[in-house]
Structure 1
Amino acid sequence: MSKVFYDLKSIIGKAVRYIDTRFDLGDGDTGSKMFEKEHIEGAIYWDLEKDLSDMESKNGRHPMISKDKMTKLIRQAGLTLDDSIIIYDQGGSPFALRAYFLLEWAGFSDIHVLREGFEEAKKVLPVSDLNQNYPLSNVSPIWKDELYVDIETVKKIVAGEVDAQLIDARSAIRYRGEVEPIDAVAGHIPTALNFDWEQLKQDGKFMKQKALIEKLTDLTDNSKPVIAYCGSGVTAAPLYASLKEAGYENVQLYVGSYSDWIRENEVETSLM
């Protein structure tokens, strides 16, 4: 069973590399400004749109980045596959988990997301406003392409050619097609179940493993692959990680998500 989330008390005094991923979907400069003001000492900053997405791609609003871009990103950060890495954001947000997914895809294994956000972390960890420069690494990622699916695979799932369960991480009213504030078409990918990712949080933090197991164990059949998606692939990352922490053994992420699917495919609207 995967252990994705770490509590502050479990990392105090340990030698780890920190990655700050604070971001605001409504103001793309907010995260970097917060980082420049203060961050956990030694942390580097990865921006959701500049670093963790390929915003030039048309495959959704926050498309999957290329292997070349990911390799460059981790080498510039001076990371190696043996590093122990802690990723944080504001807390209860999807941004650290997007970075977690991409690092897992690149072959990193000792990576965890801080359950608490920065404001709590800075009460017990040293902070700084200085940018830490690390020597470039020459790491060669060990890609785990089985962690994500593309639109062609999703088409096969919808057609019944691949036995897997899609899970929509958006709100129920968006899933049902009652409201769609962002995308041009309302509804969901056919055959998908719905589980609002906001249900994974308690008191502004992601639930502990025991609570996630209780919440997610009976969501769907654990014997077949489950694929998390959302609107643009960002808020699906918490569902992806939480399913893993809850004991699902074959979890994947459709990074293009609903915004990619609706470019050329039919949707469903339904009452749950």
Structure 2
Amino acid sequence: MTSSPLITVAELAAALGSDRPPVLLDIRWALGGPPGADEYAKGHLPGAHYLDLDHELADPPGPAGRHPLPDPERLATALRRAGVGADRPVVAYDAGPALSAARAWWLLRWAGHPEVRVLDGGLAAWQAAGHPLTTDTPAAGEGDFKVDPGHLPTVDAAGAATLARTGLLLDARAGERYRGETEPVDPRAGHIPGAASAPTTENLAADGRFLPASALTARFAALGVTDPARTAVYCGSGVTAAHQVLALEVAGHPGVALYPGSWSEWSANPANPAATGA
């Protein structure tokens, strides 16, 4: 297991020239577009395989939310096509802030891969350092990775509600969505009663890289994180919450649970209460 879930541009460039280069996964995605595949086609890190977050890293939307965890075989098929094997490191990246790359990191860790990292600063940092992009698409890989779900903890709606009362439940969405001032996507506005507002964007510096570990440690201490086993994170659909889990690991709090259905599942059930305000 690597010491940090993050890898710098310099570290990645060196690793790509080593005798054990990582598999590169391009996870560009944005709510409302543009399509990540189109952005990938315009230019990507040499050798990177594109994975579709909506269709390969999630099951179809439904009662379990907008981005339910993928069927293990669906995930395994996508990862093998990208050349992922258990004996080779993996690096995921996106356009910059790792909001979607963290989903791939979390899924691979959940599936049992021992060596997964996220490129800090993503494609933007790679280009800023003067490294090239390519439009060449690599041939389909022949990975042999076997998905073994459950290596990272999750909670369901009932578990999230319990932690909101007895532990700590962090809401990783923007503050205005937490407060219920706006809800652009999901059925109702507001938040899970008892959850604390902890916007994912506050994990990041202005350049899209993660804050230093010491700053993240201070941030989560101020939010009341003391015991990862009694902490969980949710967001709109379980994507940016993975970024929060990653940031918590950087801050020294591994093992925080993710609520995969998140607000998209919670708010779709009229029996679940919604709180508003700060």
TM-score by length of 1: 0.90
| Structure 1 position 126, deviation (Å) | 4.1
Compared CA separation, residues 200 and 221, structure 1 to 2 (3 A): closer
**Does 2:90 match 1:85?**
yes
How many residue pairs match? The answer is 268
| Structure 1 position 20, deviation (Å) | 0.7
Cα deviation, 1:103-126, whole Å, max 9, x if unaligned, reads 111111211111122133134444
CA contact (8 A) 1:60 1:256 kept: yes
CA contact (8 A) 2:98 2:119 kept: no
CA contact (8 A) 1:217 1:246 kept: no
Of the candidates 80, 94, 110, which is equivalent to residue 99 of structure 2? Answer: 94
Q: Distance in 1 between matches of 2:151 and 2:158?
A: 14
Q: Structure 2: which amino acid aligns with 1:197?
A: T
Give the structure 2 partner of residue 6 of structure 1.
Answer: 7
Of the candidates 178, 184, 190, which is equivalent to residue 187 of structure 1? Answer: 190
| Structure 1 position 262, deviation (Å) | 1.6
Q: Structure 1: which amino acid aligns with 2:200?
A: W
Compared CA separation, residues 156 and 216, structure 1 to 2 (3 A): closer
SS of residue in 2 equivalent to 1:19 = strand
Which structure 1 residue ranges, 5 or more long, are not aligned?
none
Q: Structure 2: which amino acid aligns with 1:11?
A: L
CA contact (8 A) 2:187 2:268 kept: no
Deviates more, 1:2-11 or 1:248-257: 2-11
CA contact (8 A) 1:222 1:249 kept: no
**Does 2:172 match 1:169?**
yes
| Structure 1 position 154, deviation (Å) | 2.7
CA contact (8 A) 1:2 1:247 kept: no
Give the structure 2 partner of residue 210 of structure 1.
Answer: 214
Which structure 2 residue ranges, 5 or more long, are not aligned?
16-20
Which stretches of structure 1, 4 residues or longer, exceed 3 Å deviation after superposition? 122-126, 155-158
Of the candidates 10, 25, 28, which is equivalent to residue 31 of structure 2? Answer: 25
Q: Distance in 1 between matches of 2:234 and 2:154?
A: 10
Give the structure 1 partner of residue 233 of structure 2.
Answer: 228
Q: Structure 2: which amino acid aligns with 1:7?
A: T
SS of residue in 2 equivalent to 1:39 = coil
Give the structure 1 partner of residue 202 of structure 2.
Answer: 199
**Does 2:144 match 1:141?**
no
CA contact (8 A) 2:152 2:255 kept: no
CA contact (8 A) 1:100 1:111 kept: yes
Give the structure 1 partner of residue 63 of structure 2.
Answer: 58
CA contact (8 A) 2:41 2:135 kept: yes
| Structure 1 position 263, deviation (Å) | 2.0
SS of residue in 2 equivalent to 1:11 = helix
Of the candidates 245, 269, 272, which is equivalent to residue 266 of structure 1? Answer: 272
SS of residue in 2 equivalent to 1:238 = helix
| Structure 1 position 146, deviation (Å) | 4.3
Cα deviation, 1:88-135, whole Å, max 9, x if unaligned, reads 111114110011110111111211111122133134444321111244
- Over the matched positions of the two proteins, sequence identity in percent amounts to 30
Of the candidates 134, 154, 162, which is equivalent to residue 160 of structure 2? Answer: 154
CA contact (8 A) 1:237 1:253 kept: yes
Compared CA separation, residues 151 and 266, structure 1 to 2 (3 A): closer
| Structure 1 position 56, deviation (Å) | 4.4
Compared CA separation, residues 221 and 27, structure 1 to 2 (3 A): closer
Q: Distance in 1 between matches of 2:73 and 2:258?
A: 20
Q: Structure 2: which amino acid aligns with 1:229?
A: Y
Deviates more, 1:80-89 or 1:207-216: 207-216
| Structure 1 position 225, deviation (Å) | 2.3
CA contact (8 A) 2:169 2:231 kept: yes
TM-score by length of 2: 0.88
Q: How much is the aligned-residue C-alpha RMSD, in angstroms?
A: 2.1
